[in-house]
Amino acid sequence: MYRPTSLEKRAGERKAIEENLARRVRSAGKTFAFNEKHDKTKPIDVFFQDTHEGLVLFIIYYTQACRYMVCSGCTLPSTSSQRYIDTSAILAQTRYIFTLPEVQRRARDVKKVIASNQGSMLDQETFSTAALGHLVAKCIEYLPNMEVLTLETREEYVEDSELLLLAQALQDNETPATLELAIGLEMFDKEKRNHVFRKGLSNDKLHRLAERLAQHDFRLKCYFMFKPIPELTNEEAICDVHKAITYLSDLQSRTPGSHISIHLNPTYVAQGTPLADAFERGDYTPPRVEDLIRAIRFGEDNGVPIFVGLNDEGLAVEGGSFIRPGDTDDEALLAIIAEFNRTQDYNLFKHLPG
């Protein structure tokens, strides 16, 4: 009887993952295609952010797409590959990042690196431990003042042994650095989060993860989306953010050693998603910047820093972005939010209504 070799088994497993990705896109009612034309030796994007923590280097790797895939408003996997991207290609992406003139020029100013692959950096099927170790090594080589390495991931891929291995290596940097995990909750209302947005994450799992990270002085960043589903009015969206701030502030207070922050993204209508269908029918209107500010202002004195994403990533349908080109009032408010991101100064909002 013929027995398949280990290489043949792995090839079969990877083929099964590719087929499952296609099935999950269809089951989520999405119509986008994957991006197979991207150069697999280069990341999707590399850019900088000015934040209250200092200069952030943000890296978006090109890998196989997120295996979860079914979050209703998410089209990020459309920038990724359906096919397996091997570790050697990901290593090449990391080497490429640190050859970029702007990265080299600003290397000593970088205080934080955020690494994403539009899915889960800790999913070893799409981003191996070897590739993570290589990223850490390059950060140590080029970024002597880096204090935090943030890895975006889903909760189910978190393994303490892998984190401890990476954290030990980060201690060898000229400025010893710590780890931060960035987890997408998207909404606070757990019923809508899991049954409408289809996130698949309970508050209990988040609580346990916060406790695990706090044991090692690791940090937790929680991603939220402002008004991510048609079922929310503007007022309900604001209330949902307020509840998230209250919950995470309380969680931080009850979890010794925890460091929790919020990354709030105003929702844009992503191509090839059910949200785009609702927008086309007139059942969804993108959030307004003034309502976003009303949501943010609740964070004052709660002890949980808030960073607001101001980029629709070029994936919004026409008219479906929270950014309204030519609207001078919106442009002025977005400039205030950008300054808030750099300072966490709530006095910037004092002169505004609401």
Using a 10 angstrom Cβ sphere, with 0-12 exposed, 13-18 middle and 19 or more buried, the burial of residue 102 is exposed
Tally of CB atoms within 10 A around 166: 19
Instruction: Specify the pairing of strand 54-60 against strand 45-51.
Output: antiparallel
So what's the pLDDT on residue 285? Answer: 93
Closest C-alpha to 309, from 249, 183, 225 = 225
Q: What is the pLDDT of residues 13-39, one digit of tens each?
A: 889 999 999 999 898 898 899 999 999
Q: pLDDT tens across 125-136, in order?
A: 999 999 999 999
Distances (CA, A) of 183 to 65, 221, 315, 347: 17, 6, 21, 29
Looking at residue 12, its pLDDT comes to 86
Domain edges within the chain: 12-176, 203-354
Tokens describing residue 193: 């989060």
Confidence of residue 354 (pLDDT cuts 50, 70, 90): low
Q: 218: closest CA among 227, 231, 206, 209? A: 209
- For Cα atoms 25, 30, 32, give the angle at the middle one, nearest 5 degrees: 90
**Residue 244 binned pLDDT confidence (cut-offs 50, 70, 90):** very high
Higher pLDDT, 1 or 326: 326
CA separation for the pair 323, 94 (Å, rounded):
31
Taking the C-alpha atoms of residue 34 and residue 37, their distance in angstroms, rounded to an integer, is 9
Report the pLDDT value the prediction gives residue 283, as an integer from 0 to 100: 95
Question: What was the pLDDT predicted at 296?
Answer: 96
Closest of 168, 243, 251, 160 to residue 204, by C-alpha:
251
User: Could you read off the pLDDT of 180-237 as tens digits, one per residue?
Assistant: 999 999 999 999 999 999 999 999 999 999 999 999 999 999 999 999 999 999 999 9
Q: How far apart are alpha carbons 311 and 199 in whole angstroms?
A: 22
Altogether, the residues listed in the chain come to a count of 354
Span 133-151, mean pLDDT? 97
Report the greatest alpha carbon distance in the chain. Answer: 78
pLDDT (0 to 100) of residue 2: 55
Average pLDDT on 230-259 reads 96
**How far is the CA of 195 from the CAs of 4, 22, 48, 76, 136, in angstroms?**
41, 21, 35, 20, 37
pTM of the full structure: 0.94
Q: Per-residue confidence at 281, pLDDT binned at 50, 70, 90?
A: very high
At 313 the pLDDT is 77
Higher pLDDT, 31 or 43: 43
